Structure 1
Amino acid sequence: MATAEHPLPARQNPRGAGKAEGFATPKQDTRPQCARILPKRVLPIIFLPGIMGSNLRMSAQRQEELRLKDNIAWRPDILGTRNIRKHSQLSPGERQLRLDPLQTTVDIYDPAGAPDVSGDERHENVELDDSFNSPLLMDDPPTAKNRRTAVQKARERGWGEVFFKSYGELLQHLESRLNNTFSEGKVRQEWRDVVGVDPRAWNPDPKLPQQVLTEDELKKVATGCWFAVYAFGYNWLQSNGDSAKIIAQRINKVIDDLNGSGYQCKQVIVVTHSMGGLVGRALVHPAYGNLQDKVLGIVHGVMPAIGAPAAYKRMRAGFEDPGMLSGPQESLAAKVAGNYGDEVTAVLANAPGALQLLPTESYGNGWLRVRHKGRDLETWPKQGDPYREIYKLRGKWYSLFREDWINPSGYTPKQGGGTFERTCGYLDKVQQFHRTIASTYHHSSYAHYGADRARHSFGEVVWDIRNCTDPGGWQNWPVVRDSRQGKLEFAARDANGVNNIGSLPYNDSAPEPMHATILPPSAPGDQTVPVRSADHQLHSGTFKGVFRQAGYEHQSSYKDPRAIASTLYSIVRIAQNASWTC
């Protein structure tokens, strides 16, 4: 194939037939056409994105209610100067209704569908690099019947279902490199960042030392096998347990279709990002996906294994901008997701999947703090139950939920509107989900994540009380002003220490009133997931390899060369355990 002037796409044929389709050329064109015949063995790679990484569309009913021209609920790839202002200015009520788990589904590609709904026009976010080279994803010959382009084939694999500007680089790396390993008997140059490299270059934890991957090992894995890379979006608003059930059905269909076509496909390898790791763990649990025998192994990237306090912070103070170093698209996505607490609460308080990112019982005690002059006045949880001690706490200024932020749409419960009681019902199910998968990791798991001291994350959330001599009675102080970005101002108190809301003057030149502010993050991590959560994978005793890395921000982790190299390495190590009958 390396010497072919006209490479032909490798085809998946009925009954696994070894055939190819060429095309006529002018007489003067004497260049050979070279076909690559797919072997019988196939080991699909299934990628699961993180929260807000799957494109969602809303129901026709909700679209009509909102009088919208299209049914796009969430699609970060279309953000830019043209759309950012419109989306960032959505009211909390509009956000709640657009991102309703009961009125949204994954926007799956359907080449036969209406172009503005699920066809090529909607999935134009998939753009392949000029350097991309996969024998499986090539344009069909110009004379082929029902001709498909490489981009259309990628869309059929689900690549358009996900945040492509964030994940497209990874998908192309996996597809092109796993299906182009050797040329003329020698390992291709692209693999030189993995093959023969000391894995210490990617920072494996010393307790799980990794061996150098040799050319012979790669050759044994790649010879006689092909690796189709899929991206499966999921509704990140609904429970990750429900998403796991749907993903399991899709994986079963991939396996059944390949076997029905005459190929041998027994298992898949799953690669995850962030929240996708929770879906992946549920995927192999009998209570949810029940796919433990059909998943050969899982590679987890930047997973909040036991939750992240950032979920609390965001519902009180909005999303953090990860900064331009992570890429402008990630920054825009954070802005559109909600710069203010009321914008975020309107969505996340009504979304079981998002609530599952809160710290679990396994996270431990004392991660929520109220502090005055460097001294803790109180910390929670105390008894290992954040659901009761923090999440369902009512009427306190440090509660997770401001109840007036939960249902800004004004919809009644019968119409699908949120209530504090409904959110508490979701939290009961969140707790059950957390407990069910608490110790669930695939027996052949690998992980990489940020353990970067320069990428501060919320390992704890600290409310710091300022401009106050005596904090007596702080638990019941009434709030007179909420910045919605982590600063609360309290009522002034008279000489007897009595709150006096009516006497609170406010002007720019007045002394700053008594207030509490959420302190900046200080824990090592990746700016979102603290190492305290990610390290649960290392301490589980289940993983075959754990790479504790530095240098990248959470959402853009799969753009980092070390994250990609350790992922490829992990995939090959998992694939070594595959067994075949032919």
Structure 2
Amino acid sequence: MPSTYSPFSDDGNMLPKREKRHWGEALYLSYGSFLEVLQSSLVDDWQKDLLNMAASDDAKKMQNHFESKGVLSQLVQSPIGGTNETLLTEEELIHFKRFLFSVHVFGYNWLQDNAISAANLVAYIDKVLNTYKNDHGYGLAVEKVIILTHSMGGLVARYAMNPPEGAFQGCQDKVLGVVHGVIPDLGSPAAYRRMKVGAAQEGIPGAVLGSTAEELMSVLAFAPAPLQLLPYPKYKSSWLIIEGGGSYPSIVDAATGKFDPFNEIYLRKDVWWQLYEPDILDKDITTINNNWENYSISMRDDVKKFMEHQEKGQYHPNTYIFYGTKIESDNSLTWKKEVEGKAYMNPYSGHPYIPKPQENNRHVEVYGEMDSNKVLNMGDESGISYKQFILESSKGAGDGTVPVESLVDIMKSSSIQSSLATNVDHQNAYAVDSLSDIGKRKAIQFTLRAIVKMVQEVDIRAAN
């Protein structure tokens, strides 16, 4: 854990123990330091106030023992950047310090349908609120939560607050405000890339997900949540380019006025660049057909319906968002023809020699057939040609996973109180090492200030 000195521990007594607040459900590599720093930040200023009141004059001079100014006080009247920026005032911070903030974690299965995770989030929020109504806090808690999301978690939270009619009761009336970090609001072509060639290019995250298409595709094809990260119909047109074979999606659906990536990309089985290859591991024809049938049902019933609902653009009216713009991202993808040639007879096997791609992001497509009536010798042309394609990223603006094009809808919404474009990378969007490190982290500063701003809506009399 990072060093975050706190005279009053949050791990029991003052707040429920971290275990009971489900901190163990978060991946420590990504969120461990952030959770510690976030919780410490939310109680740092009033604790520093107490220390300053109790300390002697000599102790106050010993700045190496403690900082006399809380981390949030350091943000007062300090520009961070972003749209519609309003500086933090001393009055707002004074109001904020009248409340005690407890950090809880909601962990979910990143493979299951995000709609299921959303329903579970609603139940978890009720559980948290009940904790402070009946078990901890003497019934004085204001009955709303603030939600911070990361990546796919933003899709889960959005759905939880505004589910489709008849699904379950949404929780927006129990949420004071939301900070979305690097939300893939309209999906990302990175989801297609991972399915087709694996995630070997992504370092540790890639090793966890699976390096090759063989490792990834057979899992992701039956996992609704990762498929719900594919580019939505509202994502920009022609994000998938096949050199010599067209750009997709490019046809506007007359009924919806949007592009149709499902019929043009996701549910195609007549082209080599189709999203799902049901025979990538299985060779039995019955199994292959069942694979495709199950995949198609999931795409239509889970993925498409989820996307269509999210595209209605329902956001919490008190929403803040930060996103990355400085790291090369898959804004679009191109299958670029790299090698083209004719196949010759293999001197050992008696079959045409066709080079196999040495890297996962390449595909070899074979054309033509051998003349069965013609006797071929070693080195003779077989009559078969081949083309080798490489999948290339546009390497445009984004956070390494979510391109800026995915944010078009949310940035247009009147619900967005402020947004910040910064240099975060996707996996480590909330990275921070210590309280002193906050000064170098615009995304963390933005998040903390947003929380203070949200709390201004709470009448202090409601907590008395």
Among 219, 231, 235, the residue aligned to 2:109: 235
Within the alignment, does 1:515 sit opposite 2:379 as a pair? Answer: no
Equivalent positions of 1:242-391 (< 5 A) are 242-261=116-135, 262-287=139-164, 288=168, 290-322=170-202, 331-372=203-244, 377-383=246-252, 384-391=259-266
Aligned residues: CA RMSD: 3.2
Q: Counterparts of 2:290 and 2:75 in 1: how far apart (Å)? A: 49
Identical aligned pairs, as a percentage?
29
Q: Residues 424, 547 of structure 1: CA spacing in aligned structure 2 closer, same or farther, 3 A cutoff?
A: same
Q: Counterparts of 1:315 and 1:381 in 2: how far apart (Å)? A: 21
Instruction: With the length of structure 2 as denominator, give the TM-score of the two structures.
Output: 0.79
Among 141, 154, 169, the residue aligned to 2:18: 154
Secondary structure of the 1:519 match is: strand
After TM superposition, give the deviation of residue 293 of structure 1 in Å.
0.4
> Does the 8 Å CA contact 2:77/2:89 hold for their aligned counterparts?
yes
* Amino acid in structure 1 at the alignment position of 2:186: I
* Amino acid in structure 2 at the alignment position of 1:284: M
Within the alignment, does 1:447 sit opposite 2:328 as a pair? Answer: no
Among 61, 72, 89, the residue aligned to 1:191: 72
> Does the 8 Å CA contact 2:198/2:211 hold for their aligned counterparts?
yes
The one-character-per-residue Cα deviations of 1:516-558 (angstroms, maximum 9, x if unpaired) are 11013421101110010034321223200110112x3210111
Q: Counterparts of 1:214 and 1:541 in 2: how far apart (Å)? A: 24
Q: Counterparts of 1:137 and 1:164 in 2: how far apart (Å)? A: 18
* Amino acid in structure 2 at the alignment position of 1:188: K
Secondary structure of the 1:449 match is: strand
After TM superposition, give the deviation of residue 189 of structure 1 in Å.
3.7
* Amino acid in structure 1 at the alignment position of 2:230: L
Instruction: Say which structure is richer in helix.
Output: 2
* Amino acid in structure 2 at the alignment position of 1:576: Q
The one-character-per-residue Cα deviations of 1:258-285 (angstroms, maximum 9, x if unpaired) are 1124232310000000000000101101
Within the alignment, does 1:460 sit opposite 2:332 as a pair? Answer: yes
> Does the 8 Å CA contact 2:248/2:265 hold for their aligned counterparts?
no
Within the alignment, does 1:393 sit opposite 2:268 as a pair? Answer: yes
Q: Counterparts of 2:113 and 2:251 in 1: how far apart (Å)? A: 27
After TM superposition, give the deviation of residue 132 of structure 1 in Å.
4.7
After TM superposition, give the deviation of residue 210 of structure 1 in Å.
0.9
Q: Counterparts of 1:578 and 1:411 in 2: how far apart (Å)? A: 60
Equivalent positions of 1:524-543 (< 5 A) are 524-543=397-416
Q: Residues 554, 500 of structure 1: CA spacing in aligned structure 2 closer, same or farther, 3 A cutoff?
A: farther
> Does the 8 Å CA contact 1:304/1:529 hold for their aligned counterparts?
yes
Alignment partner, residue 360 of structure 2: 485
Q: Counterparts of 1:176 and 1:563 in 2: how far apart (Å)? A: 17
Equivalent positions of 1:27-38 (< 5 A) are none
Structure 1, unmatched stretches of 5+, are 1-127, 141-147, 323-330, 471-478, 507-511
Structure 2, unmatched stretches of 5+, are 53-67, 253-258, 343-353, 380-384, 433-440
Within the alignment, does 1:175 sit opposite 2:39 as a pair? Answer: yes
* Amino acid in structure 2 at the alignment position of 1:565: Q
After TM superposition, give the deviation of residue 412 of structure 1 in Å.
7.0
* Amino acid in structure 1 at the alignment position of 2:42: L
Within the alignment, does 1:213 sit opposite 2:78 as a pair? Answer: no
Equivalent positions of 1:4-153 (< 5 A) are 128-133=1-6, 135-138=8-11, 153=17
The one-character-per-residue Cα deviations of 1:55-75 (angstroms, maximum 9, x if unpaired) are xxxxxxxxxxxxxxxxxxxxx
Q: Counterparts of 2:73 and 2:463 in 1: how far apart (Å)? A: 31
Secondary structure of the 2:234 match is: helix
Secondary structure of the 1:199 match is: coil
